[in-house]
Amino acid sequence: MTTINQAREAIYQQFATAWAATGKAYCFANERFTPPVGDGWARATVIHATGDQDSLGGIGSRKFVRRGIVIVQVFTPLDEGHTSSDTLVTAARAALEGLTLTPPVWLYSTDVQEVGPSDGWFQVNLTTDFAYEETK
């Protein structure tokens, strides 16, 4: 059984561990953060969305499938071209796409959307679908 908090923590830990290889700063949703000056960075947010009851049975043995998305916002300084942004986007996608975490959280495909200039940064958003089971 995976709880809402366990799923979020597993996803954030996976991202933090993989992102560390970039040497770039990052933050998670609901954290105070001051972006670095002149260097790329990312923000990861876990958003729960839908759920379905997956099995019948008595209380304590019913399975529910919970789904959501992980949004990673990648920011690079303006006027750098796309190379640094593409490098960080590739790292973020590799950090989350097609993985099974412990406790069981399944991360599926990742979509990439170039947002463009945003508050002095070039922004690219990635969304990765996830799911896990909860028994109750």
Cα dist from 27 to 10, 45, 98, whole Å:
15, 9, 22
Q: How far apart are alpha carbons 126 and 4 in whole angstroms?
A: 21
In a domain, 31, yes or no: no
Tell me if 2 sits within 8 A of 104, measured CB to CB.
Answer: yes
Phi/psi for 34 (5° steps) reads -110, 115
pLDDT at 55: 58
pTM above 0.75, yes or no: yes
Question: pLDDT digits over 29-63, tens only?
Answer: 989 999 999 999 999 999 999 876 655 666 656 88
Here the CATH number for the domain that contains residue 22 is 3.30.2000
pLDDT of residue 54: 59
In-domain check, residue 35: no
Does residue 32 belong to any structural domain of this protein? no
Question: How would residue 118 be classed by pLDDT, with cut points 50, 70 and 90?
Answer: confident
Range of the domain at 108: 4-26+41-135
What is the total count of domains within the chain? 1
pLDDT average, residue stretch 7-12 = 97
Residue 136 has pLDDT above 80, yes or no: no
* DSSP result, 103-115: TTEEEEEEEEEEE
Per-residue pLDDT band for 121 (boundaries 50, 70, 90) equals very high
Whether 55 contacts 63, CB under 8 Å? yes
Sequence-distant (≥ 6) Cβ neighbours of residue 87 within 8 angstroms: 22
Mean pLDDT computed over 103-132: 95
Mean predicted confidence (pLDDT) in 5-33: 96
Query: Is residue 59 in a domain?
Result: yes
The answer to whether position 33 is within a domain reads no
- Predicted pLDDT at 36: 95
C-alpha closest to that of 93 among 114, 115, 71: 71
